[in-house]
Structure 1
Amino acid sequence: MIGKIFPKSAGSFKNRIRYIFGCTKHDHGISGIRTISFNTMSKDPLPGVLQGNEADLAEIIKEFDQIETLRRFSIDSEKAIKPVFHAMLSLRPGESLTTPQWRQAVTKYMTDLGFDETNQYVAVMHQDKDHQHVHIVANRIRLNDDFSMVRDSNERSISLESVSGIEDRFNLSKAPKPKGTWGVSITHAELQASIRDNDLPLKHKMITKIAGAIEATNAQDGDMFDFVRALRKQKVYIKLTLNDDGQPKGISFEFDGKHISGRQLKRSRLTWHKLTTQEGIHYDPETISELQVEIVRRDQDEHQRSERLRYFYLLFEGGARRIPIKVKSNNWRLDRDVKAILEALEMLLGIDLTLKGANNRPSKYYVEYIPGQPLVLPAKKPMEYEFDSLHP
């Protein structure tokens, strides 16, 4: 089963209620329609609708709309609210529930989301060939003394848990959970496709993989290079859009041949700016050329490329002594390693190895090392060198 909560809205319930009773155009065929449950004073409008008479339907719509009017007059509030709640519970093709079972499922789902007997609701089942799904339209305004509203915080995670409980209760097949998708919405067309294919929508797949790459990168206090490699393991690739200064201003993600920008996927977390600030993915502007080289690599190229090893040569000077140290590392930022090495050498040799430069950090010079050719180092100047060596 898959549960979907549609965007809430203000105003009349007319469009949503007419939709679930089959009075407006649908993006899928309806081979059967059945009222599951409702708690209004008005009678079930479906028999009249099936005969082409919408009089009873107009009555139930009027009853839903009256609650907001009563609330506005009672509490004298001009605050904008969105009382129209619309959700859908969809079974996998071939699965079905009886009307009493659907009624239990709807009751559990609504209760888990915070609705109670003071909230108006109506639930209608649509049969689309061998696919059953139930639409629920409810009023978030409670018919109580203060006309309180059903809260919608964390409703998507609550929805997932509630659906899982319904699956367990009726022994339904478990739907794939969009773990780590950060509440990204799914369109009705995407929902139908995911049910048909028994798989997550592309957008959810991509965000799940990207979220995992961010987590893996942060776990090692990594940078943009680590992030690119973590994505590549998930067969996700990126493309950067550069500004006039040659620095990234945008990012898009590619998976299974489809490209989606970070802004379209999740603008609050997956734009270039959010990745490098909010999500903690470190980026050094001086490494843009090397980063572009890393980006264009693909998994299928791994067996054709030589293994890329990084060696950092640290050359320190203390009095008449010159101490070269060679360090192999997968991290582009060796600040902590350098500090540890300096402290150890100072204690061991009793010399001052304080580095010059801003914030006592070493100046960085990137020197290309070509195997088989001599390496020339500048003389008598404390520096940090980085060498890339290709080994077969």
Structure 2
Amino acid sequence: MIGKIFPKSAGSFKGRIRYIFGCTKHDHEISGIRTISHNTMSRDPLPAILQGNEEDVLEMIKEFDSVETMRRMSIDSDKAIKPVFHAMLSLRPGESLTTAQWRTAVQAYMADLGFDETNQYVAVMHQDKDHQHVHIVANRIRLTDEFSMVRDSNERSTSLDSVSRIEDRFSLTKAPKPKDTWGVSISHAELQASIRDNDLPMKHKMIAKIAGAIERTQATNGDMFDFVKSLRKQKVYIHLTLNEEGQPKGISFEFDGKHISGRQLKRSRLTWHKLTTQEGIKYDPETIRELQAEIARRDSEEQERLRIYYYEFIPVSGRRRKPIYIKFTGRDYQLQKLIKELLELIDAIFDAIFKPRECRLKVRYIEYVPGQPLEFEEEQAIELH
């Protein structure tokens, strides 16, 4: 079982409640919806919804929304709150629970997260082919005289522990914990792109390469220098963000010209803090300069890939005076040959059609390596006549 807590929100419960009852478009096919349990005064809206009537679901939404209104009238506070809680409990394909078992699982999960009978909630199961999952929408405001809020500190670790107990209770397949897996979620857009390109998403490629470098560094009890070298063999390069003391506070990874921060890749394992503490990659603050020098190193192939070339065409007579530049990189060696062939073609065209009398084109070859002075090849004049 996997437990997922969605971002909390302020305002009305309308969007979340209509979503779980199938009143709005879903990003997955739903072959069946079943109300598991709810503790509201309003009745289960599903029977009416199946008949095309949303009056009951609107009544439930109104009941949820009214609690924040009462709280605002009773408590003199302008502090912004986010009462809308939305979570999902999802089984592996092929596994299933009865309605009674789901009801028990939902009540145990809610209790573990700090919700009680004074918190409104509704739980609805979606059957997606052979994949059962239950959505829970709850009000974090307790319907008491104090209108206190359910605390959300450490809720994600609490959620993991609660799901583990539910798995044990109903003999479900144990889901690996985040610290034990390199798995990373994939967005719908990334999935579509990977299908279109017949290739893995960039995040997954980078995760695989970085994970391998971490495991190799750990196997040799290595340090940050070893990690950087191992990454470089995978054509992955790191960039550090420094704090006011000149020490690393953030890290990003570069692969194939794309940069993604460690937090965006996998914040539970790939931030600078997690790498040096949780993953055990040793770092000595006294070596920051040497580390930056090691990070700046690229192998010869990568240096050549970064090398930038230009052909500069400067008309030395005629109306046009502005130079023309054609840019290419070290990966585009064949372009040099193409440019020469194009020059020959231009020469032939001008000679055969326009036959200008006093037209000369000066060509200069420019080579640029990032961080180094420009290098110029001897100028060459091409007369077109």
Quick one: which amino acid aligns to residue 252 of structure 1? F
User: CA 1:46 to 1:189, structure 2 compared with 1: closer, same or farther past 3 Å?
Assistant: same
Deviation, structure 1 residue 174: 1.0
Deviation, structure 1 residue 268: 10
Q: Distance in 2 between matches of 1:63 and 1:210?
A: 52
Q: Distance in 2 between matches of 1:153 and 1:211?
A: 33
Q: Which residue number corresponds to residue 239 of structure 1?
A: 237
Contact preservation (8 Å) 2:217, 2:230:
no
Match of 2:147, SS state, is coil
Deviation, structure 1 residue 205: 6.2
User: CA 1:93 to 1:254, structure 2 compared with 1: closer, same or farther past 3 Å?
Assistant: farther
Q: Distance in 1 between matches of 2:205 and 2:176?
A: 14
Quick one: which amino acid aligns to residue 238 of structure 1? V
Q: Which residue number corresponds to residue 118 of structure 1?
A: 118
**1:313-324 aligned within 5 A:** none
Deviation, structure 1 residue 163: 0.7
Contact preservation (8 Å) 1:178, 1:205:
no
Q: Distance in 2 between matches of 1:62 and 1:44?
A: 14
Q: Distance in 2 between matches of 1:69 and 1:231?
A: 54
User: CA 1:94 to 1:84, structure 2 compared with 1: closer, same or farther past 3 Å?
Assistant: same
**1:57-68 aligned within 5 A:** 57-68=57-68
Quick one: which amino acid aligns to residue 284 of structure 1? I
Query: CA-to-partner distance for each residue in 1:198-248, whole Å, 9 max, x for gaps?
Result: xxx95996699499669959x97x64213336769xx976313599xxxx9
Please tell me whether residue 91 in structure 1 is matched to residue 95 in structure 2: no
Q: Which residue number corresponds to residue 251 of structure 1?
A: 252
Match of 1:284 among 266, 281, 288: 288
Q: Distance in 1 between matches of 2:120 and 2:32?
A: 24
Deviation, structure 1 residue 179: 1.2
Query: CA-to-partner distance for each residue in 1:77-134, whole Å, 9 max, x for gaps?
Result: 1100000000000111111110000000100110010000000000000001111100
Match of 1:142, SS state, is coil
Quick one: which amino acid aligns to residue 54 of structure 1? E
Q: Distance in 1 between matches of 2:43 and 2:293?
A: 69
Match of 2:19, SS state, is helix
Q: Which residue number corresponds to residue 300 of structure 1?
A: none
- Identical aligned pairs, as a percentage? 69
Query: CA-to-partner distance for each residue in 1:29-58, whole Å, 9 max, x for gaps?
Result: 010000000000000000000110000001
Q: Distance in 2 between matches of 1:29 and 1:109?
A: 26
Deviation, structure 1 residue 280: 7.2
Q: Distance in 2 between matches of 1:162 and 1:207?
A: 32
Match of 2:132, SS state, is strand
Q: Which residue number corresponds to residue 313 of structure 1?
A: none
User: CA 1:291 to 1:169, structure 2 compared with 1: closer, same or farther past 3 Å?
Assistant: same
* TM-score, normalisation: structure 1: 0.60
Q: Which residue number corresponds to residue 50 of structure 1?
A: 50
Match of 1:284, SS state, is helix
Contact preservation (8 Å) 1:206, 1:236:
no
Q: What's the Cα RMSD here?
A: 4.4
Contact preservation (8 Å) 1:225, 1:294:
no
Q: Which residue number corresponds to residue 36 of structure 1?
A: 36
Q: Which residue number corresponds to residue 11 of structure 2?
A: 11
Quick one: which amino acid aligns to residue 20 of structure 1? I
Q: Distance in 2 between matches of 1:83 and 1:187?
A: 28
* TM-score, normalisation: structure 2: 0.61
Contact preservation (8 Å) 2:142, 2:148:
yes
Aligned length: 280
